[in-house]
Structures are given as structure tokens and as C-alpha cells.
Chains A and B, each alone.
Chain A
Amino acid sequence: MSLVSGPGKGGHVAGAVPNELRLVIDNHVSYIQSLDTRKDELEYWLTEHLRLNGVYWGLTALHLLGHPNGLPRDKTIDFVLSCQHDNGGFGAAPGHDAHMLYTVSAVQILATVDALDDLDKRAKVGKEKVGKYIANLQDLNTGSFAGDEWGEMDTRFVFGAFLALSLMNLLDTIDVSKAVAYIQACANFDGGYGVSPGAESHSGQIYTCVGALTIAGRLDLVDKDRLGGWLSERQLPNGGLNGRPEKLEDVCYSWWVVSSLAMIDRIHWIDRNKLSAFILRCQDTDKGGISDRPGDMVDVFHTHFGLAGLSLLNYPGLEPVDPA
């Protein structure tokens, strides 16, 4: 799966009149399938450090588009397993160092193709040890999680740990309440959450904090009205969403903001029609793919998050998605 940008460009939309905007499902499917054939491009190799994430985004997007078999299942599983290290963790690609982010993607991919059991049947290292790799990244002082042995802390890693472990039914191997307390410490004066205590509220980090609290069953700790109000303010007049006050709109926030709102039951606090129209305008309806905003090149990351956002908004023709 290549993470190259292009060749399509968002905003290249046939029938630019709003009521003619539609989701070009088949073109997006072809676009995603074509990504793994672009091994002759330099960018394919320059994005190797994100390869496993890329597979997750492409695969999930295909599922949302109603094409679950769009990527060859066996090859996908083989690739995932080839990224595993002896300590249970996964790297972004064969030979790349293990890290929480790629371990989470690995678990998500295997869960999506119903192959989590392959971890015990075929993998170098089984489910329990994968779980241990993740659990060992918890800092028992603060409750937070590091990304790898080098110690970077980020609420994304807390969410990633909760997500992967819950998919493998191993959530009880970590100190959930301590991690929850850490998330509480990341709650800010404006109702949002940041990457660490005191860090600026950011829609992406909010998604990870609210997602983790959802998995832990502790949404009671969220001031939903205040957070919902802050999240609804992410919508700009053009219908798109930004990540923080006074920043530009970006299609990926269609997922992070909208899923956060969905988890706190306030998805109706943004204008769904305007957001859908914005996402559709970010397509290249000819070559397929979605970009961060009209005029920029498409890529699989924004394609995935744009589609996920549309699914949450109940756009017809897409499979439903769980916000957590």
C-alpha cells in the first residue's frame, strides 16, 4: 500500500453544482487497489515507515465502500505477520522497529479480516505476547503509555493500547483506571483534551481520549455539553472541520471530530449536509481518492478518513462504522 499522494486532486469534481455531488465509490475502490502497484515510484519507498498504517487505511476504506475483498486476504495477513518482532510488537514494514502505532494497526487489520487467531496459529509470536508488548509500554507512575522503548508519551498511545487490547480481549492486563486518570489530567480549561497534561486541545487528541474513555466505559467523566460545544465550533462556513480554533479545514477531522461527537451523542451539533458536501468536494471523481481540502493531492489517509466521516453521517452506500 503506497502512501504516495496523487495522481488525483481533490476538487476535481464532475458536476460541481452542489446537488450533483456524489460519492464515486468505484473510482475510490480502483484508486486504493492501484496503490500497491506503484512500487516504481520513489514515494512508495519513502513512505515505507508508514506502510502498515497505510494498509489499515486502505483496507478499512475498502470495507466502508462495500468491497471487503478488495485486497487479497492471504497476502494482507502475510504482510502483517512479516512485520512482527520477537517481542510481540509490529513495525511499519519488515525490518522496521516495533512501535505501538503499527502494533495497533496490525491488530486492527487482523480483526477486520477475521484473522486474529492467526496470531496464535501462524505468527512468530502469539496474541498473549502481543498483548504483553503493549501492556509493558504502560508507565505505571502516570498511567500513560509510551510508543516504544524510547519513551514518548501521547494520549494516542493510550487509546491505541485500549483499542488493540480490547480487540484481543486482553484489556484486563493493564491498569485501566490509572490510564483513565491520566486522560482526566489531559482535560483542558476549554473542555477539550490534549496530547499530555496542559497541552492544547486538539480534535485528534480529543478523539483518542474520548475513544479510550468509551472503551473503558467511563464517558461519565466527560463534560459532554462543553466538549460538544467546542467540537461543534470546528465547523467552518465552507462546511469543513478544523482541528483547533483558527486553523484550516481538513477532511481528516471529518472523522476525529464527528466520531468524538458521536461517542458523546452530539453528532447533530454540526451541520451534516454542509460537511458531507465538503467531503464530496474533496474527491477526485475521475481518478478516485480524497484529499485534505479541494485543490490538494489525494492520498489514502484522507480517503479513509473522509469515507469514515461520511459513514458516520449515514451517507448512503457506505457500511456503518463504530466511532470508537
Chain B
Amino acid sequence: MSHIPTLPPDEIDFLAQVLAKDAKNYHVWSYRQWLVRHFSLWDSELPYTEILVQRDVFNNSAWNHRWFVVFGQHTDPTKHSIKKNDSYTEVPPDIIQRELDYSMAAISVAPQNQSPWLYLRGILRKQGRGTSCLRNFAEQFADLNKEDEVRSSHALDFLADAYAEEQEKMKSAQVLDLLAIRYDPIRKNYWDYRKSQLGLEQVGVS
């Protein structure tokens, strides 16, 4: 594979054509990533991911590609270590803020969309920050004072962590109950586990 010295001229366009028909094709995306890395096509890829997310904000492959383009170029996959997520170059703070703003804007467009929430959490984690710094943002989509008007189970998930971080354990438990009983009951056991991690006294069986 290292025998290809220059980028075949139509290759990126060709992949874009294929992705236009099958926007989440795993093999095409992984080949595109290889091309990007091999030929250092980092700068041109970000606008492309934005087009795809604009076409379909739910396209998880496009979100992953964005992460790859923004953060992946700072990670050398051959210099990995056993530790979690070792990148060896920092991403500047203005880029971080840009990414946070981008994902929050996407959430505002479609709050019940897992990809930008995962992206947002990923950035915060990378910065060593918890979720509580963005609790006001999340509360736009899930407010404990208006339980009937929750617009996003992912916002509830986010807030459960945010309240726990701020030691508002009862509030966190309330959010998790709302998920387990009403907004995401299929994952009841998972939400109950999260509740058990709060270290609260067993108040009652839900």
C-alpha cells in the first residue's frame, strides 16, 4: 500500500460519489481515512464532513470522520501505548471551542441525536472536564421542573452526570429514574446501575 507515491487525482471525488449513494458505508470511510492519513489531506476534509452533516445530522460516520480529521491528525497510530487515548500533540483551545460550539449547534437542530452528544462528551473528556460545565446547555432539552417536556434522553443522560459531579445526587437520581421509567425504559437496568453508582441510600424500589 505504500507503493502509491501520489494521490490518484480522482480518488477523493470518486469516494464522495459513492458516499453520496451510501453515506455510511464502513469500508469506504475506512479507505478514505487511509487516504487522508497517507497523503495528509487533513485540511480539505473538514469542509467535506460539514457538508455531510448538513445533509444528514444523524450520520454517525460523518461525525466520526470529523473527530478523526480534527483530533486524529494529532495521533500517530503507530506510537500507541497501553494507556487510554494517548495523543502526542495538543489541539489549540480555539479549535476545542469551535468543536464544542459545532456539536452544540447540531444538538440544537436535533436534540434526540446520539452522535453530537457523544462528540461533545468526547471533547470534554479529552480536556479532562466533566459535563457540569455545560449543564445549562443540556437543561434546554431536559428540565426536571417540566418533566413532560423533555426533548432528549441524551440530555437527561448528560445531566445525570452533571448533577452527580456537582454533588446533587438526589437530582441525578431523579433524572435517572425519569430515564428508567419514562424516557428510555428499554435500558432500565443501565440507568439503575448508574443510580447505584451515586452512593445514595436505597430509598425504595422503582
Contacts and interface: CB of A to CB of B under 8 A. Distances in A.
Interface of A: 141-142, 151, 180-182, 184-185, 187-190, 194-202, 221, 223, 228-230, 232-233, 235, 237, 239, 244-247, 266, 268-271, 274
A198 B72 contact: yes
B55 interface: no
A47 B126 CA distance: 45
B103 to A, nearest CB: 11
Interface of B: 1, 24, 26, 29-30, 33-34, 37, 58-61, 64-65, 67-68, 71-72, 75, 77-78, 80-85, 113-115, 118-119, 121-123, 125-126, 186-190, 193
Nearest to A182: B80
A185 B80 contact: yes
Q: Which 7 A-B pairs have the closest CB atoms?
A: A189-B122, A185-B80, A197-B77, A200-B64, A245-B114, A246-B58, A190-B118
Contacts of A197: 72, 75, 77, 80
A246 B186 contact: no
Chain B contact residues: over half helix, strand or loop, or mixed?
A: helix
B187 A189 contact: no
Nearest to A267: B189
Contacts of A151: 1
A246 B82 contact: no
A198 B187 contact: no
Given A189-B119, A268-B189, A246 B77 contact: no
B82 A181 contact: yes
A252 to B, nearest CB: 14
14 contacts: A184-B81, A185-B80, A188-B64, A189-B123, A194-B30, A196-B77, A197-B80, A232-B187, A235-B186, A235-B187, A245-B60, A246-B59, A266-B190, A269-B190
B82 A221 contact: yes
Contacts of B30: 194-196, 199
- Tell me the dominant secondary structure on chain A's binding face: loop
Contact of A270 (B71, B85, B187): B187
B81 A228 contact: no
A268 B67 CA distance: 31
Contacts of B58: 245-246
Given A246-B58, A269-B193, A271-B186, A189 B80 contact: no
B2 to A, nearest CB: 10
A202 B26 contact: yes
A198 B33 contact: yes
Nearest to B56: A246
Contacts of B193: 269
Nearest to A180: B82
A132 B104 CA distance: 51
Contacts of B188: 271
Contacts of A233: 114, 187
